[in-house]
Amino acid sequence: MATLMGLRATLITAAAGKAPSLLWPLPSPIPGIRLAPDASLVETVESETAGSADR
């Protein structure tokens, strides 16, 4: 690609393609997570979910 367009244009194209890949996590809930969920809460939710599958 650098042979066809030149090194500077190739690097600018690569940088422009890389920049959006850094933005996709922003709207996700992952940055807002501060602590891992309590294990007892996870077990409670799992047991309630398993019970509803039997119905």
Q: What is the pLDDT of residue 9?
A: 92
Q: What is the pLDDT of residue 15?
A: 92
Q: What is the pLDDT of residue 41?
A: 62
Secondary structure, 3-state, the chain = CHHHHCHHHHHHHHHHHHHHHHCCCCCCCHHHCCCCCCHHHHHHHHHHHHHHHCC
Q: What is the pLDDT along the chain (55 residues), one digit of tens a residue?
A: 778 889 999 999 999 999 888 887 778 777 777 776 666 666 666 666 665 555 5
Give the global pTM: 0.41
